[in-house]
Amino acid sequence: MTTLPDKTDRKLGLVIDLDTCVGCHACVVACKGWNTENYGAPLSDQDPYGADPTGTFLNRVHSYEITEPDAAPRLVHFPKSCLHCDDAPCVTVCPTGASYKRVEDGIVLVNEADCIGCGLCAWACPYGARELDAAEGVMKKCTLCVDRIYNETLPEEDREPACVRTCPAGARHFGDLADPDSAVSQLVAERGGYDLLPEQGTKPVNKYLPPRARDCGPSGALTPVAEDPRGFLGWLDRALSKLPGGS
């Protein structure tokens, strides 16, 4: 079995804002594209244009409708990938040492040359973040785009994971969560960032920022923004009302 380092020099990871994510799947497409064309073996697809397409993805977005008493239903989009846990069970269960956690930055990776595709790491991961590539016969997972973040041939602004660089809503943030002064650590502290399934004891590095409370009127109903005559929305409402057929 594989051992974990006693500590890592840094804890590189993601902070994902569930209040900002719009579920556009741009991060999924960017991740698929970058990791198919660059690091490791391609992420294969099986029968992609057929009746039952399947494929390997390192990042997925799940959407949930949330209902609460005295509040309007809301849709929460939940991106999920490897959380690069401090106590990663996917590493310790690996029989060949293919799964490992790097001392220098805490990133969990798979040495595909040593992976035998046994699936133990996928079984051990409580987050479902491992996927067996059917074409390659090896396990795949998020690498935090390790081939981007240290690539000095790229412009400095591009040295971050493809999902972070692509997100149009700014819902994904990347940095060192071991540094309390880093932007991501301060964001977690300010917004009450939390671990996914903390009861599993895996100590995930990635954090999630909870959705903010919605503004509601005295009855608990949402207040229509068009009722405010000021600002751009008020101007837009008045302008539209002057069009033919407008109220």
168 falls within a domain: yes
Q: How confident is the model at residue 73 (pLDDT cuts 50, 70, 90)?
A: confident
pLDDT of residue 159: 97
Domain match, 222 and 163 both: no
Domain match, 79 and 201 both: yes
Percent of all residues in the chain with a pLDDT value above 70, rounded to a whole number: 86
Nearest to 141 by CA among 162, 159, 125, 165: 125
Q: How confident is the model at residue 67 (pLDDT cuts 50, 70, 90)?
A: confident
CB 205 within 8 A of CB 11: yes
Domain match, 226 and 134 both: no
Domain match, 171 and 238 both: no
Domain match, 246 and 168 both: no
**Is residue 154 scored above 90 in pLDDT?**
yes
Domain match, 171 and 247 both: no
128 falls within a domain: yes
Q: Quote the pTM value.
A: 0.84
6 falls within a domain: no
CATH number of residue 202's parent domain? 3.30.70.20
Nearest to 24 by CA among 83, 80, 77: 77
**Is residue 37 scored above 90 in pLDDT?**
no
**Is residue 102 scored above 50 in pLDDT?**
yes
CB atoms within 10 A of CB 209: 21
Domain match, 148 and 43 both: yes
Domain match, 83 and 169 both: yes
Q: Per the structure, how many domains does the chain have?
A: 2
2 falls within a domain: no
CB 8 within 8 A of CB 99: no
pLDDT of residue 171: 98
Nearest to 161 by CA among 149, 151, 171: 149
Report CA 128 to chain centroid distance, whole Å: 13
Domain match, 162 and 222 both: no
Tens digits of residue pLDDT in 108-150 = 999 999 999 999 999 999 999 999 999 999 999 999 999 999 9
Domain encompassing residue 112: 12-209
Which structure tokens are listed for 172?
Answer: 């994904």
Tens digits of residue pLDDT in 106-119 = 999 999 999 999 99
Nearest to 58 by CA among 81, 39, 38, 24: 81
7 falls within a domain: no
pLDDT of residue 39: 63
3 falls within a domain: no
Mean pLDDT (the chain) is 89
CB atoms within 10 A of CB 104: 11
- For 33, 37, 145, 228, the CA distances from 26, given in Å and listed in that order, are 11, 17, 16, 33
Domain match, 21 and 47 both: yes
Which structure tokens are listed for 130?
Answer: 């491992």
What are the helix (H) ranges across 113-223? 120-124, 146-149, 162-166, 183-191
Domain match, 95 and 109 both: yes
Tens digits of residue pLDDT in 213-237 = 766 555 555 555 444 555 555 666 6
pLDDT of residue 234: 62
**Distance in angstroms (rounded) separating the CA atoms of residues 143 and 151:** 14
**Distance in angstroms (rounded) separating the CA atoms of residues 242 and 9:** 62
* DSSP H or E run through 176: strand 172-176
Q: Which residues contact residue 201 at a Cβ distance below 8 angstroms, ignoring those fewer than 6 apart? A: 87
CB 210 within 8 A of CB 204: no
CB 3 within 8 A of CB 103: no
Domain match, 78 and 195 both: yes
